[in-house]
Amino acid sequence: MEPDQPTPSVPVQPDLPRPEDVTWEQVLSETKNVAFPGLRVKVQPADKTLVNLDTIVYTDQAEVTSTTVTLLGFPVVVEATPMSYTWRFGDGTTVTTESPGKPYPAKEITHKYLKRASVSITLTTNYAARFNVDGTGWQYIAGTVPITGPATPLQVQEAVPVLVDPPN
**Res. 115: pLDDT tops 90:** yes
pLDDT computed for residue 9 by the predictor: 67
Closest CA to 158 of 98, 113, 120: 113
Q: Which residues contact 165 (CB under 8 A, 6 or more apart)?
A: none
pLDDT computed for residue 13 by the predictor: 62
pLDDT computed for residue 130 by the predictor: 93
CB 30 within 8 A of CB 72: no
Model confidence pLDDT, tens digit, residues 54-92: 999 999 877 898 999 998 899 999 999 999 999 999 999
**pTM of this prediction?**
0.80
